[in-house]
Amino acid sequence: MHPLRPSCFAAALALSALVAMSSLPVAAESTPTFQATRQAELPPFTSPDEAVEFLRTAKVIRVEPVGSGTTRPNKVLLEKDGLRLSAIFHQIDRQQRDVRVGNQFFRVFYDSYMAQCAAYDLARVLGLDNVPPTVLRRIKGRDGSLQLWVEGAMTEKRRGAQGLRPPNTRRWIFQLQVMRLFDNLIYNDDRNSGNMVIDSGWKLWMIDHSRSFQRLTKLRDPGRVTMVERSLWQRLRNLDDDQIADHCWLKELMATAREKDSRVVGGALYLKFPHGCQPELSWQCRRMLGESVHWGQVRPYTRKEGPGTGSLLVHRSVFEKVGRFDESFTLRGYDTDFYRRVREAGIDAWFTRYAVAYHVTPHSRLEDEYFKETSLHNGWHFARRDLLEFGQVKTVALLVARLGQATVLHVPRWLIARLSGSKAAVLTARVRLWRTQGYTRSALHWIAPRFFSQRRFFSKYEFRADQIRRVPCNSPANAVTNGSRS
């Protein structure tokens, strides 16, 4: 049994993100919206995590061959707390060397159940809800992937044979484009009409990804991707980070974890700018770009100085105790929220300066607009963190204090910096004022959303829009198109 190929995963992810960002302009604001179809025919779980937990822990009642598919899967009947549901169990796990599949030659061709789970996890990261929940599980002594069965559905092959047409052609095309982008991202070499599943609400489900994540550095068929849903495009933009680790990085993290008996250890993260670029930035601006603290010794993190996820080692038991990253923090703040829960659970987190990594920082992140957007986001998630940790009364007091600080300190510092001509000082002062603005807007919104909805502000700066107005993942409501307006 071979492990998943994280390097291939990252390469495909980065390439697809670049394709999405480089050539897909935002559609006009007049793009018409469409009503979402009814919920997909999956059981009424309140969250994906509930569905995953069911798949992991439900009792196996019956296992029988499906009778179709190249991977010879089994259909499994599960039961838990009186609820009976079906799932599909894939066991295939093989490698083939020097083979040709279609028009592509592969030195090593993978066909593994583990790719099913990787595809589902990536879909969740991208905010896609059309890959059924999938987990790793052992059934009757065999390891495999267990995926929730989509009831009352038909395959694309059957739809074509019966000559059925989708009721909303435009929405159907958008769903196909999401599928094509996703298949390019994971290098899915086995998308066919048999693993495109359509429920009675005409939602397109993507299944059977065992032949994905091949060891190739190119996209499979980028020419077929001509448009992409707006929120998916934004998430791809925020997955373009790149880290370069020192050869002893993981070894040093592990050494500190053992030495301090710690389950959370972070390393030193430095900024790596383009060749010949050495911008004059304050410490606050460098931290905003992802640089870690520069402590000269191994020591615990504090409330104000916590670890980022760019250089971090976390033991599995920590996630089991405090939960996973909160997916409602889609752009920024998920690491801060996770560290808050780690601290509240009484788990010590340690920093080591010997585990070194570098955060690749392109020219686009040195522009004022990027600092403005990031500062607003930081203020937003700081306010949400304070609300979760302290409650409304103390957060209001903190808001008043921040506004006073901005009036007494930040505004005068900005004026002095303007007069002195120091670009670095001007940017630092503006960053502080933008962050205060983000904190103020966020705190007022979360405390009194009825009076401070701020839809235009949240939409403009790509905050978690579905906290205010939920847009279906595959709806063409806000589309990004390649070369044409929708």
Q: Which residues of the chain have a pLDDT value below 70?
A: 1-43, 67-71, 238-241, 328-332, 458-486
Structure tokens belonging to residue 442: 């966020």
Q: What is the pLDDT of residues 422-456, one digit of tens each?
A: 999 999 999 999 999 999 988 998 888 888 887 77
Residue 254: the pLDDT is: 93
**Predicted confidence (pLDDT) per residue in 282-322, tens digit:** 988 998 888 988 898 999 999 888 888 888 999 989 998 99
Q: Residue 141 has what pLDDT?
A: 92
Q: What is the pLDDT of residues 59-77, one digit of tens each?
A: 999 999 986 656 689 999 9
What pLDDT is attached to residue 440?
Answer: 93
- Structure confidence by residue, pLDDT tens digits, 94-123: 988 888 887 788 888 989 999 999 999 999
Instruction: Classify domain 244-364 at the CATH topology level.
Output: Spore Coat Polysaccharide Biosynthesis Protein SpsA; Chain A (3.90.550)
Domain ranges in the chain are 6-237, 244-364, 367-452
Task: Give pLDDT, residue 209.
Answer: 94
> What does the pLDDT read at residue 197?
94
Predicted local confidence at residue 214, as pLDDT: 87
